[in-house]
Chain A
Amino acid sequence: MSIIQVTNLKKSFGTLEVLKDINSEIKEKEVVCVIGPSGSGKSTFLRCLNKLEDITSGHVIIDGHDITDPKVNINKVRQDVGMVFQGFNLFPHMTVLENVTLAPTKVRSDKKESAKSKALDLLEKVGLKEKANSYPGELSGGQKQRVAIARALAMSPKIMLFDEPTSALDPEMVGEVLEVMKQLANDGMTMIVVTHEMGFAREVGDRVIFMDGGYIVEENIPNELFGNPQHERTKLFLSKVL
Chain B
Amino acid sequence: MEAIVTALPYLLDGLQVTLYIFVTALILGLIIGLIMALFRLAPLKILNWIAKIYIDAIRGTPILVQLFFIYFGLNTLDWISLDKTTAGIITVGLNAGAYFAEIIRAGIQSIDKGQTEAARSLGLTSSQNMRYVVLPQAFRRMLPTFTNQSIISLKDTSLLSIIGIADLTQQGEVATATTFEAFKIWFAVGVIYFILIYLLSLLANFLERRFELR
- A binding-site residues for B, Cβ under 8 Å: 50, 52, 75-76, 78-79, 81-83, 85, 87, 89-93, 102-103, 106-108, 135-138, 148, 151-152, 155
B120 interfacial by beta-carbon distance below 8 Å: yes
A102 touches B122 (CB 8 A): yes
Interface window among B83-91, B123-131, B168-176, B188-196: B123-131
Q: How large is the interface on B (under 10, 10 to 19, 20 to 34, 35 or more residues)?
A: 20 to 34
B46 within 8 A of A: no
Q: Is the CB of A52 within 8 A of B117?
A: yes
Contact of A91 among B118, B123, B128 (CB under 8 A): B118
Most buried by A among B118, B120, B136: B118
B115 at the interface (CB under 8 A from A): yes
User: B137 interface residue, CB < 8 Å from A?
Assistant: yes
Q: Is the CB of A92 within 8 A of B213?
A: yes
CB atoms of B114 and A87 under 8 A apart: yes
- Tell me the bound Cα distance from A106 to B119 in angstroms: 11
- Determine whether the beta carbon of A155 is less than 8 Å from that of B122: yes
Q: Does B63 contact A (CB under 8 A)?
A: no
Which residues in chain B, 108-163, are within 8 Å of chain A measured between CB atoms?
112, 114-115, 117-125, 128, 132-133, 136-137, 140
Offer 8 A-B interface pairs, CB within 8 angstroms, sorted by A.
A85-B114, A89-B118, A93-B136, A93-B214, A102-B119, A102-B122, A107-B128, A151-B118
Select one of A52, A91, A108 contacting B121, CB under 8 A.
A52
**Interface of B, helix, strand, loop or mixed by DSSP:** helix
B132 adjacent to A106 (CB under 8 Å): yes
B130 to chain A, nearest CB (A): 12
Contact A92–B125 (Cβ < 8 Å) = no
Would A93 and B140 count as touching, CB distance under 8 A?
Answer: yes
Known A-B contacts A85-B114, A89-B115, A93-B136; A137 and B123 likewise in contact (beta carbons under 8 Å): no
Q: Is the CB of B117 within 8 A of A89?
A: yes
0/1 interface trace, chain B 178-214, chain A, CB 8 Å (1 if under) = 0000000000000000000000000000000001011
CB distance B125 to A138 under 8 Å? no
CB < 8 Å neighbour of B213 from A87, A93, A107:
A93
